[in-house]
Structures are given as C-alpha cells and as structure tokens.
C-alpha cells in the first residue's frame, strides 16, 4: 500500500456540546477518539487541521435561509431539554440546546475544510470524525442531525470534480444526502442500512433509486438485524466494485457511522470493528481523493475504538490490541482492548437473501452509463 497524505480535521468546540442530559448522541465520543488516536501516537503521521466554523452563507447553500436564521436566533437562549417548544426541530430526536448553531457550524466548517484540502490536492484523505450528519434536510433537522455537513462537502467537491461517489455504512439510511442529490448523475449515493418495520428513517428501499437524470444513481442496500462481517463485507466489496466500474468517480466521501458495529445502543448488527474498518480499507484501495466522516454510534467506547482503528487503517498502521492509557477507559478487562468481537445472536439475513440483494442492486448499476 502506498502511503497517503492524510489530514485530520478536529474542531474541539464541536465535541463540547450536549443535545440533552440523556440524549444517545454524545458529541464527546469525538474527543474520546481524539485522545486514543493521540495516545496511539498517530498525530505525527498526519496534518492536523483546526477548521473554521462554516459561515452563514455556507450554511445557506445547503439549508433554507429561514431555517439557519431560526437556529441562530434561538441558539443562545435555548435551554437544555426544552426541545418540544420549538418547530423545525423534531422533539426528542433533535432537541434545541444552547449553542446548537455553533455546534452545527463547526461540524459543517470541518467537512468543508476537508473538501478544500482535497480540491487543492493538498491531501489524499481528509478525516472529520465529528461529521457525517446524513439526515439533516434543507428545511428541517432530523435524526440527531441539524446541518448537513456531507451535502456541503459534496457541493464543494463538485466544483473541482466531475463525479463524486458517496458511500454510507451508518446503520441508518442516508436519506438527507440521498435527497439533495436524488436528481443528478454527478453524485452517486450508496447506503447500506437496517431496513423494514419502519426502522428509522423508513426510506431506502432498493427500488427508490433516483429520478430524472439521477435515475439509477441512488443505490440502496437494505439489511436485516444480525448481519455478520462475512455477509456485509461480501456485499460491500461486490457492490462498491460494480459501482466504481460503472460510475468512475473522481472523488469519494465515506460516512463511517459506527452504529452498524455490534453492541450499539440503537443497533442490532453483528459487525466487528475490524469488519467495519475493512470496508474503509477496501474503499481506499480505489485510490481516489477521499473524505472520511463519522456519523452515528451510540455505545461511545465502541465508537472511539472503531474510529481509532479506522484512523490507523487510513494511515496503513497496525495497532496493538492493548489500548494505550487514556482518561476515558477504565482498568476493567473489557475496557482494555481495541478490537470488538462478534456476539452470538440471531441473524435475519440468509446467504440467499444477501445474494438476492446483490443481484437486484447489480441490475440497477448495470443500467447506469457515464
């Protein structure tokens, strides 16, 4: 593997907020990751960037101006936990909290900074673990996401790249990003997600594959509970390979939501963090300029383990399974290791259902022309 020029974007302010006292989305997980990456001595191997928050103008490229004005106006006075008093934000999932505007602007600013590094050819891979807010819509917050940093970064990439591939391995469907680019053939969106029985957000059926010039450029891979490394990696490699062959993108954006890893508070997949990271490794093997973003992940120590392992994957490093000393993990045996093993659980995906999904998705990809 050739070593890549890697940049690591870190906005400390983005990780210091709380959505509410008990909200499952804990921005602090990005600080936990940061400390592990530091203590595994990875920082000397990358360029560390402290991004600027997105400007109002940048936020308004992806959101309705009135929505951004509203976020800004309520932000300083909002009280922790008073979510339901406000419109545009979806009660429990997206409560209003003090600093919600600054929180959103710093995440979007970091993803735009990644895109700029890529556009100028300064980095081959640029990381923003605070990013990946794939549910935010033009006029509304959704699913713990207030501003869509991914759409903002892709728009920036489109200024210098003919075609951009977006790959989303978060447990949930990347509905917001899909919606922004649903009618264009310059962005292919590919989401793997838990699907069925109204699992949030409920969209992402295979047959919903884009409209107009974007028809067949929105690819959805619906999955059931309990999927294991072998099945997931089999689908991931085969589908991405076919998509790359047909679409020939000039840049790649990876959403690495860690709620698809086993043991997640909101998830029920059975992927190890090695399996999750091997998807990233496979995607990086296409040697495209790449932005790597975070996303979901609600068992916070597992999120930090996963994104730490993935930072090493990007750098081409092997890590010791023994975690380095740090301020978040205690001394219990289950707290001392990096790798997350699979568990014994029922798997609703059969090898037959996996092959069927591959066949249907391949049929769509076979129709795309560049």
Catalytic residues: 135
Q: If binding is defined by CB under 5 A, does position 168 make contact with Ca ion?
A: yes
* Residue 284 dihedral angles phi and psi, to the nearest 5°: -70, -20
> Measured between alpha carbons, how far is 132 from 169 in angstroms, rounded to an integer?
10
> Measured between alpha carbons, how far is 240 from 362 in angstroms, rounded to an integer?
10
Given the rule CB under 5 A, which residues bind Zn ion? 170-172, 257, 259, 296
Non-local CB neighbours of 104 within 8 Å, separated by 6+ positions:
54, 59, 71, 146, 147
User: Cβ of residue 257: shortest distance to Zn ion, in angstroms?
Assistant: 5
| x/- map, 179-198, Ca ion, by CB under 5 A | ------------x-x-----
The one segment of 48-56, 59-67, 142-150, 277-285 that binds ligand VJV by CB under 6 A: 142-150
Tell me how many degrees the CA angle 139-169-47 measures, rounded to the nearest 5: 90
Non-local CB neighbours of 203 within 8 Å, separated by 6+ positions:
173, 175, 178
Q: Name which of 21 and 369 has its Cβ closer to ligand VJV.
A: 21
The option from Zn ion, Ca ion, ligand VJV, none interacting with 176 (CB < 5 to 8 A, set by class) reads none
The option from Ca ion, Zn ion, ligand VJV, none interacting with 92 (CB < 5 to 8 A, set by class) reads ligand VJV
Centre a 10 Å sphere on the Cβ of residue 287 and count the other Cβ atoms it contains.
Answer: 11
* DSSP string for 73-99: HHTTT--TT-GGG-SSS-TTTS---TT
Q: If binding is defined by CB under 6 A, does position 222 make contact with ligand VJV?
A: no
The option from Ca ion, ligand VJV, Zn ion, none interacting with 263 (CB < 5 to 8 A, set by class) reads none
Q: Name which of 80 and 160 has its Cβ closer to ligand VJV.
A: 80
| x/- map, 86-105, Ca ion, by CB under 5 A | --------------------
User: Cβ of residue 101: shortest distance to Ca ion, in angstroms?
Assistant: 27
Q: Which structure tokens are listed for 129? A: 């673990």
Separate counts of helices (H) and strands (E) for the chain = 10, 8
The option from Ca ion, ligand VJV, Zn ion, none interacting with 168 (CB < 5 to 8 A, set by class) reads Ca ion
| Of the candidate residues 13, 93, 216, 310, the single one contacting ligand VJV (CB under 6 A) | 93
CA neighbor of 328 nearest in space, from 80, 37, 132, 45: 37
Could you tell me how many residues make up the chain? 370
Helix (H, G, I), strand (E, B) or coil at 211: coil
| Of the candidate residues 58, 184, 296, 323, the single one contacting ligand VJV (CB under 6 A) | 296
Q: Name which of 97 and 217 has its Cβ closer to Ca ion.
A: 217
Q: Name which of 63 and 172 has its Cβ closer to ligand VJV.
A: 172
* DSSP string for 117-149: HHHTTS-SEEEETT---TT-BTTB-BTTBSS-H
Dihedral-angle region of residue 132 (phi above 0 means left; psi in -120 to 50 means alpha; beta otherwise): left
User: Cβ of residue 296: shortest distance to Zn ion, in angstroms?
Assistant: 3
DSSP 8-state assignment for residue 366: T
| Of the candidate residues 13, 93, 170, 229, the single one contacting Ca ion (CB under 5 A) | 170
The one segment of 49-57, 143-151, 239-247, 334-342 that binds ligand VJV by CB under 6 A: 143-151
Q: If binding is defined by CB under 5 A, does position 224 make contact with Ca ion?
A: no
Helix (H, G, I), strand (E, B) or coil at 311: helix
* Residue 223 dihedral angles phi and psi, to the nearest 5°: -135, 160
Q: If binding is defined by CB under 6 A, does position 144 make contact with ligand VJV?
A: yes
User: Cβ of residue 104: shortest distance to Zn ion, in angstroms?
Assistant: 17
The option from ligand VJV, Zn ion, Ca ion, none interacting with 29 (CB < 5 to 8 A, set by class) reads none
Q: If binding is defined by CB under 5 A, does position 156 make contact with Ca ion?
A: no
> Measured between alpha carbons, how far is 219 from 191 in angstroms, rounded to an integer?
6
The residue assigned the tokens 């190890």 is: 272
Q: If binding is defined by CB under 6 A, does position 149 make contact with ligand VJV?
A: no
Q: Which structure tokens are listed for 202? A: 């409920």
Give the residues lining the site for ligand VJV (CB under 6 A).
20, 22-24, 92-93, 134-135, 143-145, 170, 172, 200, 257, 259, 266, 295-296
């Amino acid at each position: 593997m050739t070593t890549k020029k890697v940049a690591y974007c870190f906005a400390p302010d983005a990780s210091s907020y709380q959505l509410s006292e008990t909200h499952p989305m804990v921005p602090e997980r990005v600080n936990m990751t940061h400390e592990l990456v530091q203590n595994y001595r990875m920082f000397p191997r990358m360029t560390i960037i402290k991004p600027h928050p997105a400007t109002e103008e940048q936020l308004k490229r992806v959101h309705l101006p009135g929505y951004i004005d509203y976020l800004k106006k309520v932000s300083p006075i909002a009280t922790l936990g008073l979510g339901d008093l406000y419109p545009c934000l979806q009660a429990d999932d997206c409560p209003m909290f003090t600093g919600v505007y600054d929180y959103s602007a710093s995440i979007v600013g970091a993803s735009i900074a990644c895109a700029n590094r890529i556009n100028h050819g300064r980095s081959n891979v640029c990381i923003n673990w605070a990013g990946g807010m794939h549910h935010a819509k033009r006029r509304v917050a959704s699913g713990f996401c207030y501003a869509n940093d991914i759409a903002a970064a892709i728009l920036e990439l489109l200024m210098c790249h003919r075609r951009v591939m977006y790959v989303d391995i978060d447990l949930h469907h990347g509905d917001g990003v899909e919606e922004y680019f649903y009618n264009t053939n310059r962005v292919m969106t590919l989401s793997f997600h838990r699907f069925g029985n109204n699992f949030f957000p409920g969209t992402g059926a295979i047959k919903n594959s884009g409209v107009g010039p974007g028809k067949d450029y929105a690819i959805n891979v619906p999955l059931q509970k309990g999927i294991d490394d072998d099945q997931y990696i089999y689908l991931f490699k085969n589908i991405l390979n076919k998509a790359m062959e047909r679409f020939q993108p000039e840049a790649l954006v990876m959403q690495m939501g860690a709620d698809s890893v086993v043991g997640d508070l909101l998830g029920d997949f059975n992927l190890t963090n090695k399996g999750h990271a091997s998807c990233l490794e496979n995607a990086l093997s296409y040697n495209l300029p790449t932005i790597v973003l975070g996303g979901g992940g609600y068992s916070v120590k597992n999120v930090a383990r996963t994104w730490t392992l993935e930072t090493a994957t990007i750098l081409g490093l092997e890590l010791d399974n023994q975690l380095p000393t740090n301020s978040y993990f205690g001394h219990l045996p289950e707290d001392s290791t990096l790798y997350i093993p699979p568990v014994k659980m029922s798997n609703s995906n059969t090898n037959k259902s996996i092959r069927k999904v591959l066949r249907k998705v391949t049929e769509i990809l076979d129709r795309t022309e560049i």
